[in-house]
Amino acid sequence: MSQLTLVRHGQANNSAQDEHGYDALSDLGHQQARWLGSYFDVAGERFDRVYSGTMRRHRETARSIGHTDVIEDARLNEVAYFDLAQKMHDQFGIKHPTGREEFIEHLPLVFTAWRDGQIEDTAETFQNFEDRVDDVLHDIAAGEGRALVVTSGGFISMGIRVSMGLEIGSMARMALAIMNTSVHQLHPIGTALSLTQFNAVPHLADPARAEARTFV
């Protein structure tokens, strides 16, 4: 098995209220990715294979990091959180979060209701999401050489859940902590992947870049 380096996309359109509107990097998101690419170059980080989801924000992040030869795989795409949130509103009257504090309460509610099958007519079930994340990570890990994977925060938190056996509450708290363009590593230990790095942002360590450490 190969080591996997997972990167969350750069800051997207954080004022959006739907999936389509969110799916594009902000100017800061592009800059975060360029800084990460520069850090990889200086640190001598080299990848034999580069993957991304098929979402615009994934492709844009990979390009701004400096990669053009990218293998796109829809299994790396994010869960449709805006759609789940809308169904929570329509079916249970739970309002959309309008700020980070409300989102902290909202995310575990959504994930729990989704896992328990309480949300009707979802694009995919929680189990489907869990299975595709597990499948694609193991497929990539089975390849030769180090792999860079550009994806989203929800995907990363699910990847860590299936690798480390996290409960849903721990997964939700982990998802909330993941910063834009943060770096995470899953390393083969025995026959399984284990988390060896979480939420690293060495490219944003300079105090002058403190405001570039974003979560949404």
pLDDT in tens, 155-191: 999 999 999 999 998 999 999 999 999 999 999 988 8
In a domain, 183, yes or no: yes
In a domain, 33, yes or no: yes
| Cα 86–chain centre separation | 20
Count of the separate structural domains present in the chain: 1
CATH classification of the domain holding 163: 3.40.50.1240
In a domain, 133, yes or no: yes
In a domain, 215, yes or no: no
User: With helix as H, strand as E and coil as C, how does 62-130 read?
Assistant: HHHHCCCCCEECHHHCCCCHHHHHHHHHHHHCCCCCCCHHHHHHHHHHHHHHHHCCCCCCCCCCHHHHH
pLDDT score of 19 more than 80: no
In a domain, 84, yes or no: yes
In a domain, 213, yes or no: no
Q: Sheet harboring 192-200: ordered strands across?
A: 71-72, 49-52, 147-151, 4-8, 183-189, 192-200
In a domain, 109, yes or no: yes
Model confidence, pTM:
0.93
- Output the pLDDT for position 15: 66
pLDDT-derived band at 16 (thresholds 50, 70, 90) equals low
In a domain, 96, yes or no: yes
pLDDT-derived band at 99 (thresholds 50, 70, 90) equals confident
- Output the pLDDT for position 34: 98
Domain with 159 in it: 4-205
- Output the pLDDT for position 17: 63
- What mean pLDDT is predicted for residues 52-78? 97
Tens digits of per-residue pLDDT, 130-163? 999 999 999 999 999 999 999 999 999 999 999 9
- What mean pLDDT is predicted for residues 107-120? 94
What mean pLDDT, rounded, does the chain reach?
Answer: 94
